[in-house]
């Protein structure tokens, strides 16, 4: 009679399960990670991040550059601000945004490499 508790656990590879489980970051950490990476998952936000990787721009500039409404831009900038992906400074009536994290540009570059190599 077979051991009933585990499934697909007689396989040699199954031994790695405990090992991998131990190496995996905590659930809280994984949620933090996914919240950071979620910022890149929408094409509007991605467009904003790509634009800011070239130059600091104000809300209105970003609207012009991306073709999105000012309101839509502002809503997404709020998300990016909350996640600390962009920083901003006010100059008169304008608010200028720029990337707040070296890692953002790195991820944008790797992703572009990935897509370029896949075609």
Partner DNA sequence: TTCATATTTGAACAATTGATCAAATGTGTA
Partner DNA sequence: TACACATTTGATCAATTGTTCAAATATGAA
Q: Applying CB under 7 A, which residues contact DNA? A: 2, 4, 7-9, 38, 41-42, 44-45, 58-60, 68-79, 88, 90, 92-96
Q: Residue 20's binding partner, choosing from DNA, a copy of itself, none, with beta-carbon cut-off 5 to 8 A by kind? A: a copy of itself
11 binds a copy of itself (CB under 8 A): yes
Picked from DNA, a copy of itself, none, the partner binding residue 16 (CB below 5 to 8 A depending on kind) is a copy of itself
- How would you classify residue 2: left for phi > 0, otherwise alpha for psi between -120 and 50, otherwise beta? beta
Asked if 107 contacts 113 with a C-beta cutoff of 8 angstroms, the reply is no
Q: Which is nearer to a copy of itself, 1 or 26 (CB)?
A: 26
Distance CA 57, CA 50 (A): 11
């Amino acid at each position: 009679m077979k051991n009933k508790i585990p499934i697909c656990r007689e396989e040699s590879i199954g031994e790695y399960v405990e090992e991998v489980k131990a190496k995996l970051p905590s659930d809280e950490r994984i949620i933090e990670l996914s919240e950071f990476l979620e910022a890149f998952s929408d094409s509007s936000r991605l467009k904003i991040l790509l634009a800011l990787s070239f130059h600091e721009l104000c809300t209105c500039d970003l609207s012009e550059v991306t073709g999105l409404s000012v309101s839509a831009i502002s809503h997404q900038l709020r998300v990016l601000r909350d996640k600390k992906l962009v920083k901003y400074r006010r100059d008169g009536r304008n608010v200028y945004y720029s990337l707040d994290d070296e890692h953002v540009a790195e991820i944008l570059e790797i992703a572009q490499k990935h897509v370029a190599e896949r075609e």
